[in-house]
Amino acid sequence: MLYRLGRSFFSDHPRLLSGPIGALAGWVPRSIRHGREYRRIRELLAESQWWPRERHERYQLAKLQETVGYAYAQSPYYRELFDRDGVSPADLRTFDDLRRFPTLCKEDLRENLDRIVPPSFDRKRLMNFVTGGTTGSGVVLPFEEGYRNRERGFFWQLWETVGYRPDMLAAVLRHRECPPDLNGGIWYRDRSSNAIILSPERLGPDTIHQYVEVLSRYRPRVLIAYPSLAHLLVRYSRDVGWKEKIFDLVLLGSETLYEFQRRELETELECPVRIHYGHVESCALFGYCDQSNDYHVQAEYGCVEFLKEDGTPAQPGEAGEIVATNFENRALPLIRYRTGDLAVPSERLCTCGRQYSLVSKIQGREGDFIRTPSQRSYSPTVLEFVMDAALLEGHDGFADLQIVQTRLDEVVVRVVPGRQFTEEGLRRLCQLLDEQLGFECRVRSELVEQIERTPMRKKRLVLSQLPD
């Protein structure tokens, strides 16, 4: 309650975060700010991160059985759904039995939200969060405050695992906007979070000098950002010749990180880049550790399946949709929720000693694939091959770009020119993309001043305007 009231008050009065009141709020330890659930999760993870795989599986199965039993008993939607499909909580004895239960997609969630939430909850007393991410079509989801504090425990564990500490000043470049009357709307100091908040809305070639000026002045040790915004910051700052080494760590999330982005960020910022995968529905959480660029599947957070189009499990090295069941979310139990995100599971074990399952790559959303007249589909990672080839040939003058499929036989390359932009480089980029798509689509280019982002300031690297 203390954290909820505090964040609500400061979100309405962000200027106070820059002064003594914000500094005083920052002195309140996280264990007090985030409450009992936060402390419980941190205590659990301190031990469970070193559990053997068999113990993680026992923990997950017990949590699955508890969650399915609760949903059937308390949620009118699940009781009707399970009865219709002829399954009950008693049928869930092993992980294989989970496949007998129906899945839940985003449209199911949108249309049946009021019946999924148990009637014992007063919706007015719950915290609301909006999905939408890179798709832009949001759903308002209710959560208990304790469950959100539980999630904060997981995130701080992930961040501390890769070297982040609360005493390290951070620069935050995500969806938080700055008061327009404070520092020209470019930035402000959030003393309660020990962070410099940078405006994603104002970032551009005409304002980049103000961004690098505040970074040089305060020298934050950590950059917390969306991958596309971090990449844009690096591109614009490179164009104006800013080469200071100030960051020790880059923490990314909420978008897919592509290999060409990670490589450029690590090269230009001269520090490790770490990322997590998660979503507002809070069913699955993956994160890098300090010794690997594979994602660890957080077994204590939820149960994750990777399903191919025919509904069978994806094998190591195969892409499958992330389908996940959340644990302990009493206000919104989600069982076998289809995220629409594709990932490639791995059979490796991490050298860090933790025995979590691994994911080698997040491929992006199913709706972001490019389709061709011959019915072939290309994931957004096709752009990695295109960018690698373009960079090797010296064509590196794009501040920002996006691939848009307007028709089955047409793809548009939208480019924001950088200082080193050339028409030849753009033509070559289009040629390389044409080759990757098997010369099946007309590839044309479009110069724009900026790439449109969602209300949460996210960007889809590949945007399909074709019907599903």
pLDDT value at 3 more than 70: no
What's the pLDDT band for 134 if we cut at 50, 70, 90? very low
What pLDDT, on a 0 to 100 scale, did the predictor assign at position 87? 96
Higher pLDDT, 207 or 7: 207
Q: Which two tokens stand for residue 191?
A: 């003393």
CATH classification for the domain delimited by 369-464, as one of 3.30.360.10, 3.30.1050.10, 3.30.300.30, 3.20.10.10: 3.30.300.30
Q: What ranges do the domains of the chain cover?
A: 2-29+163-271, 34-157+277-366, 369-464
pLDDT value at 135 more than 70: no
What pLDDT, on a 0 to 100 scale, did the predictor assign at position 38? 93
What's the pLDDT band for 101 if we cut at 50, 70, 90? very high
Question: Would you say the CATH fold of 34-157+277-366 matches that of 2-29+163-271?
Answer: yes
pLDDT value at 277 more than 90: yes
- Selection from 329, 320, 226, 321 nearest residue 282 by Cα: 329
Rounded average pLDDT over 385-414? 86
What pLDDT, on a 0 to 100 scale, did the predictor assign at position 7? 55
Q: Which residue reads 């939208």 in tokens?
A: 414
- Output the furthest CA–CA distance in the chain (Å, rounded): 65
Share the mean pLDDT of the chain. 88
Higher pLDDT, 403 or 18: 403
CATH no. for 2-29+163-271: 3.40.50
Q: What percent of the chain has pLDDT over 90?
A: 60
pLDDT value at 22 more than 90: no
> pTM for the full model?
0.87
Find the range with the poorest average confidence among 47-61, 62-76, 286-300, 452-466.
452-466
pLDDT value at 262 more than 50: yes
Rounded average pLDDT over 294-314? 95
Classified as helix, coil or strand, 362 is strand
Q: What is the DSSP string of 162-221?
A: TT--TTS-EEEESS----TTSGGGSEEEETTTTEEEE-SSS-STTTHHHHHHHHHHH--S
Encode pLDDT of 209-242 as tens digits: 999 999 999 999 999 999 999 999 999 999 899 9
- Selection from 325, 428, 361 nearest residue 68 by Cα: 325
- Given the DSSP bridges, would you call strands 292-297 and 195-198 parallel, antiparallel or unpaired? unpaired
Classified as helix, coil or strand, 343 is strand
What pLDDT, on a 0 to 100 scale, did the predictor assign at position 18? 63
Q: Give the H/E segment covering residue 158.
A: helix 145-161
Residue 452's contacts (CB-CB under 8 Å, 6 or more residues apart) are: none
pLDDT value at 12 more than 60: no
Q: How many CB atoms lie within 10 A of CB 116?
A: 23
Q: Give the H/E segment covering residue 233.
A: helix 227-239
What pLDDT, on a 0 to 100 scale, did the predictor assign at position 115? 95
Q: Tell me which long-range contacts 123-129 makes (C-beta under 8 A, separation of at least 24).
A: 126/331, 127/4, 129/280
CATH classification for the domain delimited by 34-157+277-366, as one of 3.40.1160.10, 3.40.50.720, 3.40.50.12780, 3.40.50.300: 3.40.50.12780
- Selection from 305, 313, 283 nearest residue 67 by Cα: 283
Residue 10's contacts (CB-CB under 8 Å, 6 or more residues apart) are: 16, 17, 22, 25, 192
Classified as helix, coil or strand, 420 is coil
Judge whether 159 and 167 are in contact, CB under 8 Å. Answer: no
What's the pLDDT band for 325 if we cut at 50, 70, 90? very high
Rounded average pLDDT over 257-262? 88
